């Protein structure tokens, strides 16, 4: 059986879209932390969370992080977050949420 291209949908998660969004946001956060050469302790101080939680973020253990919280972390790293709403792309059964970085 061919996959859908979305591992969370293929695994049957009811909140597949939310899970995918959180992974995409975490990927961008981890890229920014690496580019800035911040330690987990430094990131924890910036985000106002314990260092072990930054470790969870770095290892994509995202159960404690909502999309909104991850978006807030991006703003704490001096990033603007823009949400664009447009008509659904043809061929998709439901709307698509994606993250891109500049």
pLDDT at 87: 83
Asked if the model's pLDDT at residue 19 lies above 90, the reply is no
Phi-psi sector, 79: left (phi>0), alpha (psi -120 to 50), beta = beta
What mean pLDDT do residues 74-89 have? 87
What mean pLDDT do residues 84-98 have? 72
């Amino acid at each position: 059986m061919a996959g859908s291209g979305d591992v969370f949908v293929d695994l049957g998660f009811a909140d597949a879209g939310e899970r995918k969004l959180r992974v995409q946001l975490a990927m961008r956060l981890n890229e920014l932390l690496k580019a800035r050469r911040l330690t987990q302790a430094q990131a924890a101080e910036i985000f106002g969370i314990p260092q072990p939680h930054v470790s969870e973020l770095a290892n994509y253990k995202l159960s404690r992080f909502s999309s909104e919280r991850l978006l807030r972390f991006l703003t704490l790293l001096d990033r603007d977050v823009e949400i664009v709403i447009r008509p659904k792309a043809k061929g998709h059964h439901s709307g698509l949420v994606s993250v891109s970085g500049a």
